[in-house]
Amino acid sequence: MINKDFFQALEDLEAEKKIDKEKFIEALEIALTSAYKKMYGEAKSATVKINPDRNTIRIYSYKTVVDEVTDPDKEISLQEAQLIKKSYKVGDIVAEEESTKEFGRIAAQTAKQVVMQRLKEIERGIAVSEISEKEDELLTTIVKRIDNGTVYVQISGSHVEGIMLPSDQIPNEKYEVGQRIKVYVKKIKDSFRGPQIQVTRSNIGFVRKIFELEVPEIANGDVKIKNIARDPGNRAKVAVYTDKPNIDPVGACVGNHGIRINTIVSELNGEKVDLILYSDDPLEYIARALSPAKVLSVETNESLMASRVIVPDDKLSLAIGKNGQNVRLAARLTGWKIEVKPESALSSTSQSNEVKDVEYELVELDDTDSFQSFDDLEEISGDENEE
C-alpha cells in the first residue's frame, strides 16, 4: 500500500508547496485512522502510524484487558492477552498490528478525500500565517472578481483572497477584473468560511502607506505624519513635521515640480490633498488646518477643546468648504471643535466681551504663516482690559 514513491512524494510536497512534512503525515495518519474505523466500525480503537524514515505504515488496534469481555471491539480477556504476552494483567492496553492488505478501495478513497481536505487547510493556514504579517501594510493585488459591488482581489505571492467591501472603496472609482490595484490590509478575521482578509482603499491607513511609499523622507523617519483626516474620494488633510532643521516636510511631500504629490493624488483617484505643517501651538495648527483659506484670528478654549476662527468675509465659504467639508476635516485633523466666523460678524466690542465671558484666548494673525505665541497672551489681554 505504501512504497518509497509515496514518501518521495511527501518530500516533493514539502519542497514545492512549503508544507511541513510532519504536519502532513499527522494529517494523513488521522485520515487513514478514520478510513480504517469506517471500514471496520467506529467502535474499534485503532490508530495508524507512518514512519517516513523506514518507509512504512502500520495499523494498530487497541483493547483493554478485562476479566469478562462485554465489548469485543475494545476489550480482550486476560486469558487471550496472556497468550500474546504473559506479563499482561487486567487494565493493561494490548496493541495488535493489523494487516494493511485488508484496506480496500473504498477505504483508500475515503482517506484521500480527508487528506485533500486537510491539505487545503494546511495550505490555507500557511497562507494566512504569511499574510498576517502583512496586516497594516500596503499590498499590490489583482482584481479577481466583482460581486454585487464587493471586490475580491488576489494578493500577489499567495493563494489568499482579499475582500474589499463597498465601504472600503474610493467612491466613484471603477474596478475591472485583471486590474492591478494597491490596497491596505485593514483586518484579518475568522469566519465560518475560513479566514477573511479585509482590504481597503478608503482607510486613512491607505493614505499613510501611500505617503511612505512615495516620500523617502517619510519612509526613513526624517519626516513624520502627525495625523490624517480624510473624506475618501474628495479631500484629505495630512499634517507633517520634522525634527530635522534642514528639511522642509511639506516640500519633501510635494517633491520636485510636484511629482510626488501628483503621484499620490493619482493613486487616490484624484482626491485633493492638503499638506499641513504641524505645530505644537494649537492656534497655529488650527489656522493651518483650514488651508487653503486665509485665517485672521483664532480663539481657543482649552477646557472645552473648542476654537473660534475669524476669516475674511470673501474667504468664509472656502474656509467652511462644500457641505462643511473643509472645517470638518480640519477639526478631525487637530482634535479641536472649530467654529468659523466672517470678519464682519464680530465687532471689536463683541469680541472683547466673548473673550471675557467664556475665557477665550485671542491672538490676532497677519496671515496663516505668521503667528504670535502663547507668551504674548497676557500682554494682549492686558491691552484689551486697559481699553
Same domain, 139 and 126: no
Contact between residue 291 and residue 276 where contact means Cβ atoms under 8 Å apart: yes
Q: How are beta strands 56-66 and 93-98 bridged, if at all?
A: antiparallel
* Alpha carbon distance 126, 301 (integer Å): 53
In the prediction, which pLDDT does 380 show? 31
User: Which residues 6+ apart lie within 8 Å of 42 measured at CB?
Assistant: none
Higher pLDDT, 168 or 115: 168
Same domain, 262 and 232: yes
- Domain end call among 114, 131, 148: 131
- Comparing CA positions, the residue from 330, 215, 213, 323 lying closest to residue 276 is 330
Same domain, 316 and 329: yes
Same domain, 265 and 307: no
Higher pLDDT, 200 or 121: 200
Q: Which tens digit of pLDDT belongs to each residue from 54-87?
A: 777 788 888 899 998 888 888 899 988 898 889 9
Indicate whether 50 belongs to any domain.
Answer: yes
Domain count, the chain: 4
pTM of the model: 0.66
Same domain, 85 and 31: yes
- Domain end call among 84, 104, 131: 131
- The cell numbers describing 21, all together, are 512534512
Same domain, 292 and 359: yes
pLDDT at 195 over 70: no
In the prediction, which pLDDT does 54 show? 78
The residues pairing with 301 across neighbouring beta strands, listed in sequence order, are 306
- Comparing CA positions, the residue from 120, 171, 172, 174 lying closest to residue 143 is 174
In the prediction, which pLDDT does 151 show? 96
Contact between residue 181 and residue 143 where contact means Cβ atoms under 8 Å apart: yes
- The cell numbers describing 359, all together, are 475665557
Q: Which tens digit of pLDDT belongs to each residue from 138-182?
A: 999 999 999 999 999 998 777 678 999 999 999 999 999 999 999
Q: State mean pLDDT over 4-16.
A: 72
- The pLDDT confidence band at residue 107, using thresholds 50, 70 and 90, is low
The residues pairing with 49 across neighbouring beta strands, listed in sequence order, are 58
- Domain end call among 247, 278, 309: 278
Indicate whether 167 belongs to any domain.
Answer: yes
Task: Please state, in angstroms and as integers, the Cα–Cα distance from residue 73 to each residue in 95, 106, 139, following that order.
Answer: 12, 21, 56
In the prediction, which pLDDT does 345 show? 81
pLDDT, averaged across the chain: 82
Q: State mean pLDDT over 49-55.
A: 79
Longest dimension (CA), the chain: 116
- Comparing CA positions, the residue from 187, 251, 183 lying closest to residue 213 is 183
User: Which residues 6+ apart lie within 8 Å of 174 measured at CB?
Assistant: none
Same domain, 243 and 299: no
CATH number of the domain that 232 lies in? 3.30.300.20
pLDDT at 236 over 90: yes
Q: State mean pLDDT over 327-337.
A: 96
Residue 335 domain boundaries: 281-387
User: How many CB atoms lie under 10 A from the CB of residue 137?
Assistant: 13
Indicate whether 210 belongs to any domain.
Answer: no
DSSP string, 169-203: SPTT----TT-EEEEEEEEEEEETTEEEEEEESSS
Contact between residue 75 and residue 63 where contact means Cβ atoms under 8 Å apart: yes
Indicate whether 291 belongs to any domain.
Answer: yes
Same domain, 307 and 371: yes
Contact between residue 63 and residue 76 where contact means Cβ atoms under 8 Å apart: yes
In the prediction, which pLDDT does 194 show? 61
Q: Which tens digit of pLDDT belongs to each residue from 339-369?
A: 999 998 875 545 444 433 333 344 444 333 3
* Alpha carbon distance 329, 10 (integer Å): 57
Same domain, 235 and 289: no
292 preceded by cis ω (within 30°)?
yes
Contact between residue 258 and residue 246 where contact means Cβ atoms under 8 Å apart: no
Indicate whether 302 belongs to any domain.
Answer: yes
Indicate whether 212 belongs to any domain.
Answer: no
Same domain, 75 and 180: no
User: How many CB atoms lie under 10 A from the CB of residue 106?
Assistant: 11
User: Which residues 6+ apart lie within 8 Å of 242 measured at CB?
Assistant: 217, 222, 223, 224, 249, 252
CATH number of the domain that 102 lies in? 3.30.1480.10
Same domain, 227 and 296: no
Indicate whether 39 belongs to any domain.
Answer: yes
Same domain, 17 and 87: yes
Indicate whether 366 belongs to any domain.
Answer: yes
Q: State mean pLDDT over 185-198.
A: 76
